[in-house]
Amino acid sequence: MPGKSSPIGVFDSGVGGISVLGELARTLPRETFLYYGDNLHAPYGTKPEEEVLGYVRGVMDHLMAQDVKAVVIACNTATSVAAAQLRAELELPIIGMEPALKPAAEQRRGGQILVLATPMTLRLPKFQALYDRYGEGAVRLPCPGLMELVESMAFDQAQRYLEEHFLAYDMQQVDAVVLGCTHYVFLRPILEQILPGHVRILDGNAGTARQLARVLEQRGLLTDEKEGAIRLETSGDPASVLPLMQTLLARA
């Protein structure tokens, strides 16, 4: 049975969830985190829902075999596809991601909110429910292929991709850009460079970290250890993926 000293599982379709992991480790520095990137099956965001659910179940089996005390789904697509089902089936705390549309709506000054995400995240009922509540002025901006540019650290190409995507919009009329995929958080420096200064750039990482801390405290699962640790794993090629994870973790 997992206890206070057990690790917290964190997973994503690839390396994007490392941006969430960095926030989790800052918020809960005494915890041990086991990060699993399902690189063998990335990307999730352009695949059929049932296929993604199958991959997520495989990852969950792997994490639970390592006695994790909670799991953070550090992927908006996987959260949309699987979180509700996993919570219905498991006693384990399951913390998911949500595009930061609510905080963007609260800061909106009458302009547009551009929501950048994978095609699947924007298509599923979870985002539609969020959009129905907070979507005034919000524009869905699907970004197929952008996640893969982050995975390969092709940041110059990613900048050109974003500049082309934004051409259709008058950025003086945009109040916020929501990063609805954890991979896109690594593009924040580029976005800060190419967007006007008044545009807020928002992601859901801090909110997810706060929610994890709340749930662990409520369940009496916060560790007694003095110092935390991070373990990195991948379903892909460890020789190429793990150094990339280390690099992005330092960047996060």
Encode pLDDT of 145-156 as tens digits: 999 999 999 999
Reported confidence tier of residue 217, pLDDT bands at 50, 70, 90: very high
| 115-148 as b/e: b if 16+ CB within 10 A | bbbbebbbbbebbeebbeebbebbebbbbeebbb
What is the Cα–Cα distance from 116 to 123, expressed in whole angstroms?
12
Average pLDDT score over residue span 64-91: 97
Whether 15 and 248 have beta carbons less than 8 Å apart is answered as yes
Full-model pTM: 0.94
Topology at the third CATH level for domain 8-97+205-251: Rossmann fold (3.40.50)
Q: Which residues contact 182 (CB under 8 A, 6 or more apart)?
A: 12, 16, 17, 19, 20, 74, 75, 76, 97, 203, 205
Per-residue pLDDT for 218 more than 90? Answer: yes
**Which residue matches tokens 């990195």?**
232
Q: What is the pLDDT of residues 81-133, one digit of tens each?
A: 999 999 999 999 999 999 999 999 999 999 999 999 999 999 999 999 999 99
Q: Which residues contact 11 (CB under 8 A, 6 or more apart)?
A: 17, 35, 36, 37, 38, 59, 63, 71, 72, 73, 74, 75, 78
- Percentage helix, strand, coil, to 5, in the chain? 50, 15, 30
What is the Cα–Cα distance from 60 to 218, expressed in whole angstroms?
23
Whether 43 and 13 have beta carbons less than 8 Å apart is answered as yes
Whether 9 and 66 have beta carbons less than 8 Å apart is answered as yes
**Which residue matches tokens 């699987």?**
82
Domain 101-203 in the same topology as domain 8-97+205-251: yes
**Which residue matches tokens 């793990």?**
242
Q: What are the extents of the domains in the chain?
A: 8-97+205-251, 101-203
Whether 79 and 126 have beta carbons less than 8 Å apart is answered as yes
DSSP letter assigned to residue 143: -
**What was the pLDDT predicted at 169?**
97
Beta-carbon count within 10 A of 251 CB:
13
Average pLDDT score over residue span 37-55: 95
Percent of the chain with pLDDT strictly greater than 70: 100
**What was the pLDDT predicted at 1?**
82
Q: Which of 181, 187, 221, 230 is catalytic?
A: 181
Q: Which of 59, 70, 75, 138 is catalytic?
A: 75
**CATH class assigned to 101-203:** alpha beta
Instruction: Please say if 143 is a catalytic residue.
Output: no
Distance of CA 79 to CAs 83, 110, 164, 167, 191, Å?
A: 5, 30, 28, 30, 25
Distance of CA 212 to CAs 98, 137, 215, 225, Å?
A: 13, 30, 5, 17
Instruction: Please say if 181 is a catalytic residue.
Output: yes
Q: Which residues contact 27 (CB under 8 A, 6 or more apart)?
A: 206, 209, 210, 212, 213
